[in-house]
Amino acid sequence: MPAFLLPLTRTVTYTRWLHLLVGALFAVVVGFVYPGLNGDHPHQWLLLPLVPVPVLALAALVPATRLAEGVQAQVMLLPGRHARHREADAAPAVAAAPSASWGDRGRTALWLVLRLEVGLLVAFGSVQLPGLTIALLTSAAGGDGGGTGPVPAVAGHHWWYALLAPLPLAVLAVSVVALGGLMTAAARRLLGPSPAERLAALEERTERLLEHNRLARELHDSIGHALTVAVVQAGAARAAGSPEFTDRALAAVEETGRHALEDLERVLRLLREDSGRRAADRPTLTDAGRLLESARASGAAVTCEVTGSAADVPGPVSREGYRIVQEALTNALRHGGPSVRMTVRIAVSERQVELEVRNPVGSGASGREAATGQGGTAGRGLRGIRERAALLGGSAETGPCADGWRVRARLPFDHVG
């Protein structure tokens, strides 16, 4: 099909045509009320573009007018979600919201007037141009060439009038496509989101992305820790060959897996619904003991030093601190093996909590990966530790130290309301 005919195959072309015609209906209704249109005084039709303007200006002062016009524009001017031909650039989108400022009301008034004038032009052409085609065909066949009512008159009877008959329809088609595109562009400009609405939408999108990133870190830390403990426990039990040790290892795997399933269900519940989030369900530093017991059950030698009371740490800091300790222990188990020695320090002061996890670095491939922080998922986990600390206004350091590998984070309380 020729490219110039493609717009005629799009549904949005005809919905835009209808949208333009609807814009002229109000003028016709107003015109019949005042000044009272009739065919005896054609000059009165010239008042149609002028008489409704004050009424439209008053209507634009009502906040809901912008909402109604925005909904109509979205439905009738823009291609649908499942349209075969999507527009390359549909931004800025048309807003469907009440007027929130005088600027919104002014743009709405300008939109209403523009819709009125263009709608009248399209309505006039939609009546006159098909009528002209009919008159040309009638005259070419030797009949009456019109001249009554809205049908324009055609003088004479010539056969070649039939060759001119398609031209008015072509003009109408081009006008509808061009004016429909013009009104769509005007709708995006006049009914598009205001700067305040764009900022609110950007903040909402940013909050949503931050929430998704947080949930992704939750899954990474919780599930990664559970799988690491399970793998280490299974390997240690097989190497030990002791039924008693195997029972302890299976119990540790069961307990760790149960907590991981609880975390997974909580995260999935948050993904399914945006309301009713219960941050209190997340583990805190007061629950760090189960992380240490899980690591010890795998054969690791864990020494823990706690200064201050973990119960005094604010909820958001305590929850993120728990995940930082969890990821640091997981990283140590993954690269150090089941017999790794770890030192955990939790220091709570009046203004911050400091977390530190140390473990020696082996000489094998795993040790080299741990030293660079690039081994498998460890790179993502250590990056997640730094991100968690940064979101709370703190800092995190991960890297080699004098006696091996160290993860240290400082989480202040100042940024917590």
Reference 331, options 232, 200, 240; nearest CA is: 232
**Residue 311 predicted with pLDDT over 80:** yes
- Classify residue 96 by burial, with Cβ atoms within 10 Å: 0-12, 13-18, 19+: middle
Among the listed ranges 86-90, 135-139, 176-180, which one has the minimum average pLDDT value? 86-90
How many other CB atoms sit within 10 Å of the CB of residue 325? 23
**Model confidence over 293-310: pLDDT tens digits?**
878 877 788 999 999 998
pLDDT, average across residues 274-299? 73
Is 260 within 8 Å of 226 (Cβ atoms)?
A: yes
CB–CB of 34/55 below 8 Å?
no
3-state helix, strand, coil split of the chain in percent (to 5) is: 65, 10, 25
Q: Is 0.75 surpassed by the pTM of this model?
A: no
Q: Residue 165: enclosing H or E segment and its boundaries?
A: none
Mean pLDDT of the 102-112 span: 92
| Tens-digit pLDDT profile for residues 50-80 | 888 998 999 999 999 999 999 999 889 888 6
State the Cα–Cα distance between residues 299 and 360, nearest whole angstrom.
Answer: 15
Residue type, 158: H
Percent of the chain at pLDDT > 90 equals: 22
pLDDT bracket for residue 42 (50, 70, 90): low
- Coil vs helix vs strand at 208: helix
What pLDDT score does 80 carry? 67
pLDDT, residue 201, reads 67
pLDDT at 273: 59
Q: Which pLDDT score is estimated for 41?
A: 61
Q: Please tell me which residue, 194 or 271, carries the higher pLDDT value.
A: 194
Cα 325 from Cα 285, distance rounded (Å):
9
Confidence bin at 89 (pLDDT 50/70/90): very low
Scan for tokens 């031909």, then name that residue.
Answer: 85
* Residue bearing the bigger pLDDT, 2 or 290: 290
Task: Give me 140's structure tokens.
Answer: 């070419």
Q: What is the pLDDT of residues 181-238, one digit of tens each?
A: 999 999 998 988 877 777 666 666 766 676 677 677 767 777 777 777 777 767 777 7
Calculate Rg over the CA atoms of the chain: 36
pLDDT at 94: 84
Q: Tell me, what's the pLDDT at 375?
A: 43
Q: From CA 17, how far away is CA 29, in angstroms rounded?
A: 19
DSSP structure string for 111-135: HHHHHHHHHHHHHHHHHHHHHHHHH
Given a cut of 80, whether residue 374 has pLDDT beyond it is: no
Under the banding of pLDDT at 50, 70 and 90, the label for residue 146 is: low
Per the model's pLDDT, the better-predicted residue between 220 and 105 turns out to be 105
Question: Which SS3 state, helix, strand or coil, does residue 87 take?
Answer: coil
Whole-number Å distance between alpha carbons of 343 and 360: 10
- The DSSP bridge pattern shows strands 404-412 and 352-359 to be antiparallel
Strands of the sheet with 395-401, listed across from one edge: 301-307, 341-348, 352-359, 404-412, 395-401
- The whole-number average pLDDT for the span 387-395 is 85
Tell me if 130 sits within 8 A of 172, measured CB to CB.
yes
Confidence category of residue 357, pLDDT binned at 50, 70, 90: very high
Average pLDDT over residues 331-353: 86
Report pLDDT for 417.
52
The enclosing H or E element of 251 equals helix 243-272
- For the chain, give the percent of residues with pLDDT over 70: 76
| pLDDT, mean over the chain | 78
**pLDDT for residue 203:** 65
Higher-pLDDT residue of 224, 281: 224
